[in-house]
Amino acid sequence: MKKLILAVSLAMVAAGAAHAGPPPPKAHGIEDKTYKWNAQEGEKIEALKLKGDKTRGEEGYEVCGACHLPSGAGRPDGTFPQLAGQHTTVLIKQMADIRAGLRDNPTMYPFAATLIDPQELADVAVYIESLCIPTEHGKYEGPDAATQLATGKGLYEKECKECHGTNGEGVKDKFYPVIAGQHYKYLLRQMTEIRDGHRRNANPDMVKVIKKYDDKQLVAISAYQSSLVMPGNMCKPKAAAKK
């Protein structure tokens, strides 16, 4: 049954992609000195003013679940991020940025384009935010894990905790994302892209912080971030199977 649902979802995506057409022209991002990270304009602002409906959002999310999974858990290999429990503000901003050509994500664009108006953005975002954060996700698994976590904790608490919080909870009204429960490989990829100037809709304040870190330090920070949990927001542990 799960395979059938996945096949149907992918077929819906293909149809949506054909309807969506090519991604929009690239908008001016962080490479432009006039870039404003969170400009209060466009459909993002319209969606943020609307009250999302979880029932409608669950229906809209079905297409998203083909990659991010019905649980919102994403993929441990980092190809698709964990979305469950993410702030509506962050979800709306990122989807709007992709739709507007401000964030480059050709894989995601056909999905985002199927949400036809700000109300659908608000609906899907509120549904995703309501999902519990999976306790099982991709973490750093090297033989030096303990060392990496210790190093990463020191770096995180020095400059990352102020925005992303002690438990990786982020700040909703400032559009700082939840990172608790996020996959290690996804975190490492995104921070590397932000540092190297490839994430065009990045927050300039984060770029200033992260650009001084080398690859080894980013590995350590990502390892620690992927170990964070948000009390009260995580999914309940699965009951042990009866013999």
Q: What is the pLDDT of residues 182-196, one digit of tens each?
A: 999 999 999 999 999
Number of domains observed in the structure of the chain:
2
Provide the domain limits for residue 187.
145-225
pLDDT of 9 reads 43
Q: What integer is the mean pLDDT of 91-97? A: 94
* 73 shares its domain with 165: no
Does the residue 175 lie in any domain?
Answer: yes
First to last CA, the chain: 25
**CATH code where residue 221 lies:** 1.10.760.10
Band of residue 148 on the pLDDT scale cut at 50, 70, 90: very high
* 126 shares its domain with 152: no
Is this structure's pTM higher than 0.75? yes
Does the residue 138 lie in any domain?
Answer: no
pLDDT of 114 reads 77
Q: What is the pLDDT of residues 96-110, one digit of tens each?
A: 998 888 998 888 888
Does the residue 204 lie in any domain?
Answer: yes
Band of residue 23 on the pLDDT scale cut at 50, 70, 90: confident
Does the residue 231 lie in any domain?
Answer: no
Q: What integer is the mean pLDDT of 134-161? A: 97
pLDDT of 79 reads 95
